[in-house]
Amino acid sequence: MTVLFDKVCLIGIGLIGSSLSHAMRAGKLAGRIDVYDHDAEARTVTVELGLADQVHDNVAGAVMDADLVILCVPAGAVADLAPEIAKSLKTGAILSDVGSVKQAVVRDLGPHVPDKVHFIPGHPIAGTEYSGPRAGFADLFKGRWCILTPLPGTDPKAIERLQLLWEKMGSQVELMEPGHHDQVLAITSHLPHLIAYTIVGTATGLEETTQREVIKFSASGFRDFTRIAASDPIMWRDVFLNNREAVLEMLGRFTEDLTALQRAIRWGEGEKLQEWFTRTRAIRRSIIDAKQA
């Protein structure tokens, strides 16, 4: 394969950052990879696993001369990093990220981006419940979508270059408006995580003997929720704080529906329940047909 970017800089080397390194190494897509992380332990692991050609403990050094800079930190860390990154970016560089919320990064990073730097926010729809630099693997993005949310007026050639990188890592790319991204992800990702966190927390509030049984008999449905609710707390705190409006809007709809089903259970309205449960089966079918199952 051909090198697509001579120097790539990854800022933050957790699950996503380390997976990017593995995937770019596997495809020989980057001439060299430089990594910055604020965490000494993460930097040590980066060296140990050979995730970088050079590891930096300051942002500016890592960003210097990079053709592509990708932020792979929690949404709440972007605002503080923005000025430091901005001042070291070279002319013609592409600046991207992998954050789960897109309006927030446009808000926090956008104003700092110098002219002649191509700012193209991104979000790979791929992940696991593990975090940290040891959690990454080269195939994470294979067969998955990556959403890019460039602002109007962005150079199409730069978008194409970044798109090609994701495609070489096995992803299909979709372009979307940041606000729309945040709405779609609120229902497909943020609300499911919030609900899973809630119910697993509810279970921890039960008396101790029941709690032991909850663990023992988790295979009956609960287990799937615990996997989701094991995801990184800081990442998810930042997602909810940074996509507040869309999450609250979807949560409102969900609560209305839940109240209606609760009422149907209380009043023994079997037909209403059966009709609802039948409708949801069709969605599963569509997901299987779309090969996302």
Interaction residues for a second copy, span 28-87 (CB under 8 A):
76
Nearer residue to ligand NAP within complex by CB, 142 or 253 = 142
Q: Which among 80-88, 132-140, 152-160, 189-197 is the span making contact with a second copy, rule CB under 8 A?
A: 189-197
Nearer residue to a second copy within complex by CB, 1 or 293 = 293
CB of 157 to ligand NAP, least distance (A): 25
d(CA 291, CA 293): 6
Q: Which among 43-51, 85-93, 159-167, 188-196 is the span making contact with a second copy, rule CB under 8 A?
A: 188-196
d(CA 125, CA 171): 9
Residue 149: C-alpha distances to residues 41, 146, 187, 274 (Å): 32, 10, 18, 40
CB of 135 to ligand NAP, least distance (A): 6
By C-alpha distance, which of 107, 136, 137, 113 is closest to 241? 107
d(CA 235, CA 126): 14
By C-alpha distance, which of 11, 90, 96, 94 is closest to 55? 11
Q: Which does 240 bind (CB under 5 to 8 A by kind): ligand NAP, a second copy, none?
A: a second copy
Beta-bridge partners for 94:
68, 118
Under the binding rule (CB under 8 A), the answer on residue 228 touching a second copy is yes
| Lookup: tokens for 86 | 């901005």
Instruction: Give the nearest residue (CB) to ligand NAP.
Output: 14
Beta-bridge partners for 11:
36, 71
CB of 231 to ligand NAP, least distance (A): 6
Interface residues with ligand NAP (CB under 6 A)?
Answer: 11-17, 37-39, 42, 72-75, 77, 80-81, 98-100, 123-124, 127, 131-132, 232, 235, 239
